Structure formats: C-alpha cells, structure tokens
Amino acid sequence: MRALRSLSLSVLVVVAVAVAGCASKNDAPATPAGVPGDWHGNIEIPDQPLPVGVTFTPDGKATIDIPLQGVTAQELGEVKTDPDQVAWTITGFPGTPSFKGKFDKGSDTIKGEFSQSGATFPLNMTRGKIAGLNRPQEPKPPFPYNSEDVSYRSGDITIAGTLTEPRSAGPHPAVVLITGSGPQDRNEEIAGHKPFLLIADTLTRAGYAVLRTDDRGVGGTGGKIDQANYDQLADDVAAGVSFLRGRSEIDGKRIGLLGHSEGGYLAPLAAAKPDSGIAFAILMAGPSVRGSEVLIEQNRLILAAGGATQEQVDAQVAYITGLTEVMRGGDVEAARKYAHAHNDSLPADQRSKDDVLDSTITPSMLALVNYDPAPALSALRIPVLAVYGGKDLQVPSAQNEGPARTALAADPDATVHVFDGLNHLMQPTKTGLVSEYGTIETTIDPAVLDMYTAWLTQRFPPKR
C-alpha cells in the first residue's frame, strides 16, 4: 500500500551509470580530471544519513544512485560542473530536491548542500562509486530447480513472468504470487530488496512450483497498471492459475495464491469467485478493511513516527480524509481537482508538480480507496494464512488483525498471525518507517518464510 503524500523528507530519485575511463598500461581505469567521474557521499539527515552516488559525464550530464531507496539511473537536471559551481536538480519531484557545491582540487572532494522542501543538509562527496547494498538473503544461481521465463494472455494483454519448478517428479502443487500496489516487477523489487524472488526460491526449494509476474505496464507485461480496476487485476490472477493448469507438471487441484499488501486484497477476491478452484491463500500484510481507512491510518502513523507535529498530522489526516471521500464518488477528475486545490494552498517549496500529483490519483487508486475486502474474505472456505507485522505502518496490524479474524471466522481453516517487531515487508525493524526498508539487510524475516513452508507442507505436501 502506498501513502498518498508524506510530510517527512523523502528523496525520490534513481542511479548512476558508470563512466568508463581510459585504460592505463595495466588496464586500470584512469581517474578523470576535475568534476567528471563517479562520486559518493551522505546526505547528512539527522539520525538517518542517506548515501548517494553521482556520476558526471564529460558531456555535462549527470545521473544519481540512491541504493537505499531502490533508485537507479535517474538523470539529473540543471547540471553544472564548473569547479566553483557544481550543481544538479532531481526533476519531476516535489520539494525541488537539488545540490549546490564546489569542487576542491587540493582535497579532490565536492563539498556542498542538498536541499528539499525548504530543508538543507550537508552533502560532501569523495571520488569513487557508491558501495552496493548487502542483501545476504538474495538467491544467487546456480539454482537447484528449474527456472523458465513464461508468458500468457489475460484478456487483450500479454502477461510475462517467471515459473520456477522443483526438479523432482510432478505433478507439483503451485503458488501464484501477487504484488502490492503500484507498478511492480516480478520480484516486487523495493529498496534494493527482492522479496518475491526470495519467496519463490524458498517455496520452490520446499517442493512447490511458483509463478511470479510483472505487473501491467512493467517489464514484458502489457497494459497500464494505473488504469486497471480490481476486476481486471483479479482476472490477471485467474489467467495465471489457468496457465498453470494447462501444464502437465502442475497439480491443477492444488494451486493457491500468495498476495502481499494490495495483493492481499486481490487474492481473496480471485479465490472467492465462483468456480475459481483456487486451493488456498496466503495473505502477507493484506488489508482487511476498506482502502480509504488504510490510507488515512497509514498517513497518521507514518507522519507521527517520522517526527511530524500533531498539527501537521491533523492537517494531513484531514486532507486525506477529504480526498478519499471525493474518491469514493468514483470521479478521477473531481479527486484531482480537490488535490490540486489543496496543493495550491501549500507553501511553494512544498508543492508537488501538477503531473506528479495527477499520477497519484488514477483509476487504480480509486479502486483501492473504494474496495471493501470483507465480502470476499467472508466467502472463503479454503485454507487461509494471514500474517501481519506488529510494526507495519502501511497496513497496521492493530487496524487489520481484528477485522481479518472476524471476516474469516466461518472459514474452517483460517489462521491469523502477527509477527512482533516486523514491518510491512516482514523485516525486523526499529521504526517501521518506509525510509528504513533499504537500511535493513534482511529481506524477509526467516520466521515468516518458515511459517509459509510449514503451513503449506502440512496442508498440501509436495510429491517427493
């Protein structure tokens, strides 16, 4: 689930492509003279310094890399590389994030300040590439199972993804993974983590075939995710199930779903459809209340945890409440008009660009805001496992655990579990803030993965 807007500082950007230098006699890259080349440093935000990497090319262009925010290959604007005036701007984002500094030839450093939304922080950069992120859980080849890129039709679009299968004799039980809101790739990559790659690897090693796919408009999948409604997205899930049923190595009667965040809305919706034949559902931080309620509460919690004043929290909650009420009417243009009026009332340095604002208010956002998951959850009569993180600020367990238990009460095999100390990605966390996701090395707490495999093997044991 996404926050519609946060008052906390958030650098929304993306990475640097390395510039190859001339080779020396020993083939080591030469260090460019002056500003051109790779640089790295920390935006010195109190208590949460943010590492960035900037690459200046000889033709006066530049790109930025912010690994903790999953930012790669973001081209910078208004680039200046004069030694006495080094500058750049991250275009298209609210708060006009920018840098101004100078190149010091003696120390071979660039010293300056990063500014966004009226706040200014030191940013001093030294020569060299920014260090990569440590993601110890990320699966690496060679894999002890088969992995195949696949595609199939869903209505008038093609869906592309990856199917992993055990090398043991089938037919195999299978799991279809469903991503959270916004455009996600098949690995659901966020903040340098690839949670769906890890889940697929874990379950395939345990004996399950796993299908994970790119969202509409991402990678090899057609269509546009921001224009899709929930019936269309549920049909995409059903198309994946049908595709698996058409393969002889898959047990068509033992295909289930695992949905994360908004995927936890879509999994019950798809499973509850007549004759879906879906065998089970795992809901990972799946909301159990209407989307408008989740958005209001996540804004309240994220701002408070980020240090906003009570006045700021109240103002933001009032805005989101009003906006979601307009969205409940189903009129995208009316919602955009409301959002623009609010945006125009803000100080100039806090306003969003018009196109950025419009891109957040789409048919898919209206679908999320208006969706009530209770009917689909209450209709389920298949094994269901719903898990929440006790420090999740995006789909708070305090808001969703109780309603999930109530909605699933008539299901003869429904388990609802809260993992204390975990966030929305099921990582061990201190604050639960989105800004912390990238700083945590763990992609998914092993206890969560262990629960998935134990729960599945007890109910749908793989063929060995």
Q: What is the pLDDT of residues 283-307, one digit of tens each?
A: 999 999 999 999 999 999 999 998 9
Q: How far is CA 273 from CA 222, 380, 409, 412, in A?
A: 24, 9, 19, 18
* CA end-to-end span of the chain: 37
Is the same domain home to 233 and 263?
Answer: yes
Is the same domain home to 322 and 403?
Answer: no
Is the same domain home to 284 and 297?
Answer: no
User: For residue range 28-82, what is the model confidence (pLDDT) as tens digits?
Assistant: 344 445 799 999 999 998 877 899 999 999 999 999 998 887 777 789 999 999 9
Q: Please provide the average confidence, as pLDDT, over all residues in the chain.
A: 90
Neighbour tally for 259: CB within 10 Å = 26
Domain carrying residue 239: 146-289+372-459
Is the same domain home to 155 and 273?
Answer: yes
Residue 141 lies in a domain: no
Q: Give the domain-ending residue among 132, 161, 182.
A: 132
The Cα–Cα gap between 76 and 97 comes to 10
Residue 255 lies in a domain: yes
Residue 401 lies in a domain: yes
- The whole-number pLDDT of residue 26 equals 38
Residue 2 lies in a domain: yes
The tally of domains found in the chain comes to 3
Residue 139 lies in a domain: no
Is the same domain home to 167 and 267?
Answer: yes
Is the same domain home to 283 and 298?
Answer: no
* Percent of the chain that is helix, strand, coil (3-state, to 5): 30, 25, 45
Is the same domain home to 234 and 215?
Answer: yes
Q: Give the domain-ending residue among 367, 398, 426.
A: 367
Residue 283, domain CATH: 3.40.50.1820
DSSP 418-451: EETTB-TTS-B-SS--GGGGGG-S-SS-HHHHHH
User: For residue range 377-406, what is the model confidence (pLDDT) as tens digits?
Assistant: 999 999 999 999 999 999 999 999 999 999
Please name the amino acid found at residue 28: A
Is the same domain home to 363 and 388?
Answer: no
